[in-house]
Structure 1
Amino acid sequence: MAGVYHFRPMTSADLPQLERWLALPHVREWWGDPAEQFALVSGDLDEPAMDQFIVSADDGEFGYIQCYDVTAWESGFGRQPDGTRGIDLFIGEPGMIACGHGSALIRAFVDERLARETPRVVTDPSPANARAVRAYEKAGFRKTTLINTPDGPALLMIRDR
């Protein structure tokens, strides 16, 4: 497992790679219809409340992470401290799964945000996605409650500064 992760702001030049990743079975399982998700993600490139990144390590680019203002969308997260950010991500490259990258890149990304005055970071994996829940817990998130989101039931997980 690589020790250093880089989070490069995503550009329109990354869209073909993102489209390929969204179509892979291990991403589609939790992100849903690839065409629908591609439309949403590509449409957010110009959204000021959404920051999107391509994740890389020594082995090259392998994933996607988005970080957003939780007040910009109806999320089902309830009242959160001002400045709270939400995250969603996936590892696109199949060879990078089950190698410890998930929890390590989450920790690195969230540590950066918390060091920059973000008071809280939240995420909402499917309760059935045990791999994601484990990765978030290893990255310092705590389970709080089951919530209803526009995408269905989710487990609200929180990491505070």
Structure 2
Amino acid sequence: MTLILKQFMDTDIPLFEKWLKKSHVAKWYHDPEDWLLEVTERADAFQFLHHFIVSWNGQSIGFCQYYFFSESGEEWHGTHSLKGTYSIDYMIGEELFLGKGIGKAIVAELTDYIMAFTDCERIIVQPEPENLASCGALLSNRYVFDEVNELFLKEK
């Protein structure tokens, strides 16, 4: 089985939009217009985001992204320093690939990729607590839940 993260292209937008409308994705990816704006403006206003299509054995099945947290304008990092902090988002769009451990593999691949950056000190992620599959994928990749800041954390 081969997992590949390939750079997001304009030709991926219709598929991404289709996934955003699926109930198992829409439950967690609120405001699909905002997500679409981020990918359509990825060379301009959202160039700090790095988007990928997840390919499993040659089939596009999901999406993921990473970003240097301080460039996002988000403030949910709690007491963690912004220096060296990255964050990730990920999803499986195709229902047939849910519950097969692929989410865990996506998180592993993306984590390894980011941790190789010399400036990376940590990755923080804040899925909704009810998203048990996402929380499980993080825990299985040795992220720890930081109860004080209510986020998942992996440090170098």
TM-score range, shorter chain: 0.7 to 0.9
- Contact 2:69-2:82 within 8 A present in 1 as well: no
Name segments (4+ residues, structure 1) moved above 6 Å: none
Residue 151 of structure 2 aligns with an amino acid whose one-letter code is L
> Partners of 1:51 and 1:146 in 2: how far apart?
28
Name the counterpart of 1:20. Answer: 18
Displacement, 1:45? Answer: 4.5
Name the counterpart of 1:156. Answer: 151
> Partners of 1:106 and 1:45 in 2: how far apart?
24
Name the counterpart of 1:133. Answer: 135
Residue 44 of structure 1 aligns with an amino acid whose one-letter code is R
C-alpha distance after superposition, 1:50-102 (max 9, x if no partner) = 11111112151111111011112123113325221100111111111000100
- Contact 1:12-1:45 within 8 A present in 2 as well: no
Residue 54 of structure 1 aligns with an amino acid whose one-letter code is I
1:142 aligns with 2:144: yes
Q: Root-mean-square deviation (CA), in Å?
A: 1.8
> More deviation in 74-83 or 5-14?
74-83
Residue 37 of structure 2 aligns with an amino acid whose one-letter code is A
Name the counterpart of 2:99. Answer: 98
Residue 9 of structure 2 aligns with an amino acid whose one-letter code is T
Matches within 5 A, 1:12-161: 12-46=10-44, 47-72=46-71, 73-78=73-78, 79-80=80-81, 82-117=83-118, 118-145=120-147, 147=149, 155-161=150-156
Unaligned runs of 5+ in 2: none
Indicate how the Cα distance of structure 1 residues 125 and 146 shifts in structure 2: closer, same or farther if over 3 A, else same. farther
Q: Provide the secondary structure at the position in 2 that maps to 1:44.
A: coil
Residue 89 of structure 1 aligns with an amino acid whose one-letter code is Y
- Contact 2:69-2:86 within 8 A present in 1 as well: yes
- Percent identical pairs in the alignment equals 26
Question: Given the two structures, how large is their TM-score scaled by the length of structure 1?
Answer: 0.85
Q: Provide the secondary structure at the position in 1 that maps to 2:138.
A: helix
Residue 39 of structure 1 aligns with an amino acid whose one-letter code is L
> Partners of 1:20 and 1:134 in 2: how far apart?
25
Question: Given the two structures, how large is their TM-score scaled by the length of structure 2?
Answer: 0.88
Unaligned runs of 5+ in 1: 148-154
How many pairs does the alignment contain? 152
C-alpha distance after superposition, 1:88-121 (max 9, x if no partner) = 1111111110001001121122012112322211
